[in-house]
Structure 1
Amino acid sequence: MRIAFALFAGLLSLGAQAAPADFVSFDRNLWPEQLDSPTLFDVASRAEILSFARVLHESEMLDEQALTARLGLRQVNLPVIRAVRARLWQRLWTSYQQAQQSCEQDASFCYPVESMADLRTQSATFAADVGTFYSDWVEPSHQFHARYLDEQLRKAALFPQTTSEVEKLSGRERNGEELNDRMFLLTFVGGPGPEGSSTDQMTDYLRRQKLDAIFFVLGNRLQQRRDAGLVVPLYAGQCVGIQGWEYRSHAQWQGWQDSLRRSQARVQADLPEQYVPLFRPPYGQRRADGEGFMASQQLRVSLWDIDAQDDGPLSAEASAQRVLTLMLLWRKGVIQFRDSQPKAQPALEWLLQHTAQSGIGWEDCREYGQRE
């Protein structure tokens, strides 16, 4: 009986270790104002920054045992967690400084914060002082950010044994932090789909909106589209990077170098005008010793910091609301959608509609792709 119980407990532990990512969004209807001016974008941005800073500060109160239990893991990599926390604090401080620049136009969520220490202190108490106008937003926002932080800390806890987008492996990698304030890059992964699929609809929609994006394609799927017909019209006006020959982790795959060579050659041959020398690793997983090979292929790893999570149970609107909340939080970044998912286009439509007057900008895909 004891042996059976121990085996059962072990299976539970393994299940916790391998638990799938939690899909979390935030209902933007709980925020009482439309983002119809740059000033109101800043108000909402300051609020989300303070809300996330609050849960980040709370997480630092947990000891290793409590943190391990909260993340559902057997053990955690504390040095990486501390490094990720420090980077998150730096981004929050930078973002809050940017968002404060409109405080003369609207003083909501403006506090005498002149240092990162001030931000820590203010985030712990601001929720009690928001007034009735924002009261319905406070607790749901706190819950969203607590779950979002768990996403990040869980990835940090497993890094670098399991690599992900939570941390860069070298200075040659990109993750959106290099963009200017209020600038965002649209990216899509997992395609192309078969002719007439959501990939076709998405690229057509972007052209009609006079927007561009980087589509990270799989070599085998591009080969299938090429065998069925022309691919140049599909990606006209867009940029195309690579995700490898097939959608699988390139961290442990012995054929990862061949995967990159084949997919790179395919895109360069079929789409020379659209090609940009960027690799988006599936699941964010790549090899720590791959720097030399990447450089030899003139490739850079392109990560993301805003994931739409449109490949799970979230509806198109919930996915878009998640993206918008994280745009307000980080104020810049690389957004990842999946063009093979039919919900990606309605999600993007919602996002564009609700940010049309907010003062944000969309990064040119070719400028980003060719940047040294």
Structure 2
Amino acid sequence: MAFTEEIGIDLGTANVLVYIKGKGIVLEEPSVVAVDEETDEILAVGQEAKEMLGRTPANIIALRPLRDGVISDYDVTERMLKYFIKKTCGSGRFFRPRIMICVPSGVTEVEKRAVREAAAQAGGKDVFLMEEPLAAAIGADIDISRPEGTFVIDIGGGTSDIAVISLGGIVASTSLKVAGDRMDEAIVKYMRKKHKLYIGERMAETLKKEIGTAFPRPEEVSYTCSGRDLVTGLPREVEVTSSEMMEALEEPLQQICEATHSVLEKTPPELAADISTGGIIITGGGALLYGIDERIKQRTGINVKIAENPMDCVAIGTGRALENIDVLQKSAINRRRRFK
């Protein structure tokens, strides 16, 4: 007799999280794979592969098979998924788990099919897809089935998904390819221009986490950044301040604020009133950026709160949705009938 496990997967551009029914989140690893280009053999996956970024010899490439929230390398994504499923659930001849995977709200049908097929090839018995804002809301303990407007901003690694949710579905939304990765790129660009210092992705990410800021801090903080001097070609260290990081992150933050404003403009007035009362909730790794809530509150005039454990919300919501897939499907059918 076949054994069926139910697992929810947050297949993120930066990280993959796996949720198993009854166990919670059992895995959180970077979406990075190290491949030997000569033999096509996978040498490392996850954290071990991330440690290799920018440090590999010519025949080994450490890559991220997802870009901007979608699959950029189908074969590597499939193998990465297979590795994570085996690591968390074990393997066996008759083992075929039911899988729920999150996708950004703006993906095309072709991109959805690529994710579904990759999960099926990786060992999924039944594969379901769910839009990230819905999963994020469920993971943040919001009852999405109620006839009230909920505003969710999920800032991940590759995309920022912004949506108004009511009656178990998305009423107004946008998905922009401006999130954690673009913030890292903005920091790299800023360091080249301002300090004539070339830094890698990992150092940019460290700066973002340590002193990155979206809203002025009461006290300035700094971090010693190391990289390669663009003039001499030699290693050099520079002390960078949080004010400089706010300047570096201005463009991506402005784009996220503008997208938030545009979704609010498309929101029906009754739901807009609910949002004005209930506020905006932020999930995803981007929610950890200092002052992101105050920045969006300043732009919209609406109270903003950070979800508890924001990085886990999508994975938790994905798992919970799979546990109640029949209820969600029934809710979707009823919603379609209601608006016919």
Same fold by TM (over 0.5)?
Answer: no
Structure number having the greater helix percentage: 1
Structure number having the greater strand percentage: 2
For CA contacts below 8 A with separation 6 or more, give which structure has more relative contact order: 1
TM-score normalized with structure 2 length:
0.27
TM-score normalized with structure 1 length:
0.25
